[in-house]
A and B are shown apart, each in its own frame.
Chain A
Amino acid sequence: MGTLVRQEIFKLTRKKSTWISTGFLVAVEILFAILSKVYPKTFVPASTFESLYFARPIIIFYMIAATATIITMEFQFGTMKQVLYRRYSRGQILVSKWLAMLLYSVYWYILSLGVAMLLKLMLFRHQLSIHQSAGHGLSIFAQSLEVSAATFITLWLLLSLVFLLANLFTNSAAAVSVGIIGYFATNIVTQLLTMLIQKWDWTKWNPLTMLLYPQMLAHPGVYQPLLNMQAWQMLLGNVIYIALFLWAGYKVFTQRNL
């Protein structure tokens, strides 16, 4: 398994896009940090830091694209046969791809968090204390970490769905669009969702609600009554849906004729 994961990582490091997107992410963080320094009224330093200087949404797009392509590129380049006929089982191949993406998402989080901390240290040493309270008993730093962890989990909810779709359609366009729509849908349909949940309580268990987990942590007072849910229930819901989507993708992958 170690070999397989290493092979996936090797492919990632040899792609130009990996390095271009890394450069782009860092550039965006620097840009937003400077904006926040120059126009602190518009780009409030506390909240730009919390979004890791806009890195968080970018990471989500990167990961959706990377997850779709790690599966579909093998079909597109005709390399799937080569990857699969070896002594490894199909399950091992797919799991190695999951793990590679897990490592890749960790890479993005560590990178963006590191750059954000560095920028804060350089530009906002006296203006912004990350130990300052964010309300509801947490420091900005702790809150930022907690929300980051929650976005990481909901990101994986999206990615597990993207894995499933990439395996189903062997085409990244479909998988990427559904992932991105899923990302935006949560914000668009929140109102509709809360109406549904107020009418029928059980509808809260749908996967879209689970995507609201980070918002719930950021503003518990607002979301708890709207969704009729506790944070731990949403965490559990996320984990169950992730497992379900990954399992379905696994089934599709192992049954495919090449």
Chain B
Amino acid sequence: MSSILSVQNLNKSFGNKHVLHDVSFTVEKGHIVGLVGPNGAGKSTIMKAILGLINYQSGEIKIANQTVTPASHAALSKVGALIEYPGIYPFLTGWDHLQLFADGDHQLIHIQEIISQLNMDSYIKRKTKGYSLGMKQKLGIALALVNFPDLVILDEPMNGLDPEATKDLRDLIISESQRGTTFLISSHILSELQQLASDLLIIDQGAIVQQTTMHQLLASQGKQTIMLATNDDKTARQILKKAKFKMTADPRLEVVATDDETMPQVLRTLVEADIEIMDVKRLEGNLESSLLEVLKQYRVAQKLAKEQA
């Protein structure tokens, strides 16, 4: 196993606000790693620290075994990134941007390849002043990929992308990853991340909650649920609750399947209560519910630890 990125005991404060607490993790070469956590958890801050954009109080960051600090950026030569929102000069065309940030002219073919993979041909020669949000976002992603990076760091890359562009991006990330490129991606669009990431880093309030693989997380947390639609969801929900079925937290009519017997039991209960069932769906464990569950457990544990202290 060889890791391309290692972060050890990273601590960061803004003034007296401690934002990152002893963050440590490693990223394996060629993997697509999802960085997930609530707003303000510290995802962007971690990424900025890796890119040498902020000073931090303590910790060590290594890319391909070479230390990165705000003062020494040599290790970043093989890194591409898009942090928070793309930085774009309105007076340049998209093409100008790619040329400006490309190391050397020999990459024209590669630039052209990225442009067509992201479907940007029709406007790439226009001034970016007139670009829409999604067009800018795509340009930002293209810029991150332009120098054949070994490690790509993307912060909310699906921001503002339409479904087609989202799919184009997913295909692009997967094809680049098959060439051996490593990705660290933060996103709140968990359904998308679930299709992409092989590994997961879950953070909350500036601390790593869990480093795991997508498969493990889904298996450990991913209970199957049964989603129903009836002629009277509200009553149905009350009836199922009364019958001691485990329901998900949403106001949705969704029952957690504890075993294979759950489905027939639920259906029988509803039929006996004269509720008409319009639709039944069995849902596999998904990243969203698993993540929320992990975060809930983590917060409860944190609270307990605090109370005991």
Interface residues of A (CB under 8 A from B): 3, 7, 10-11, 14-16, 73-74, 77-90, 254-255, 257-258
Known contacts A11-B89, A11-B92, A14-B91: A84-B77 contact under CB 8 Å: no
Question: A81–B73 contact, CB under 8 A?
Answer: no
From the candidates B53, B75, B85, name the one contacting A257 in the complex (CB within 8 A): B53
Interface residues of B (CB under 8 A from A): 14, 48, 51-55, 70-77, 79, 81, 83-92, 96, 100-101, 103, 143
Question: A257–B55 contact, CB under 8 A?
Answer: yes
- Give Cα distance in the complex from A30 to B48, angstroms: 51
Question: A84–B100 contact, CB under 8 A?
Answer: no
The B contact surface, by secondary structure, is loop
Q: B96: which A residues are within 8 A, CB to CB?
A: 10, 14
- Give Cα distance in the complex from A74 to B55, angstroms: 19
From the candidates A10, A73, A89, A254, name the one contacting B100 in the complex (CB within 8 A): A10
Q: B84: which A residues are within 8 A, CB to CB?
A: 78, 81
Interface centre among B53, B77, B88, by most chain A C-beta atoms within 10 angstroms, is B53
For B128, the closest partner residue in chain A by CB is: A77
Q: B70: which A residues are within 8 A, CB to CB?
A: 90, 254
- Give Cα distance in the complex from A224 to B52, angstroms: 51
Question: B85–A87 contact, CB under 8 A?
Answer: no
Question: A81–B76 contact, CB under 8 A?
Answer: no
For A80, the closest partner residue in chain B by CB is: B87
Question: A77–B89 contact, CB under 8 A?
Answer: yes
Q: A87: which B residues are within 8 A, CB to CB?
A: 73-77
Question: B91–A16 contact, CB under 8 A?
Answer: yes
Question: A82–B87 contact, CB under 8 A?
Answer: yes
- Give Cα distance in the complex from A7 to B52, angstroms: 21
Q: B73: which A residues are within 8 A, CB to CB?
A: 85-90
Known contacts A82-B87, A87-B74: A11-B54 contact under CB 8 Å: no
- Give Cα distance in the complex from A213 to B73, angstroms: 41
Question: B83–A81 contact, CB under 8 A?
Answer: yes
Q: A74: which B residues are within 8 A, CB to CB?
A: 87
Question: A81–B53 contact, CB under 8 A?
Answer: yes
- Give Cα distance in the complex from A12 to B60, angstroms: 38
Question: A82–B51 contact, CB under 8 A?
Answer: no
- Give Cα distance in the complex from A258 to B143, angstroms: 19
From the candidates B14, B53, B81, B85, name the one contacting A78 in the complex (CB within 8 A): B85
For B51, the closest partner residue in chain A by CB is: A85
Q: How far is the CB of A172 from chain B (nearest CB, A)?
A: 15
Question: B89–A85 contact, CB under 8 A?
Answer: no
Known contacts A86-B76, A87-B74: A258-B48 contact under CB 8 Å: yes
Question: A85–B100 contact, CB under 8 A?
Answer: no
Q: How far is the CB of B49 from chain A (nearest CB, A)?
A: 10
Q: A16: which B residues are within 8 A, CB to CB?
A: 91
Question: A77–B90 contact, CB under 8 A?
Answer: yes
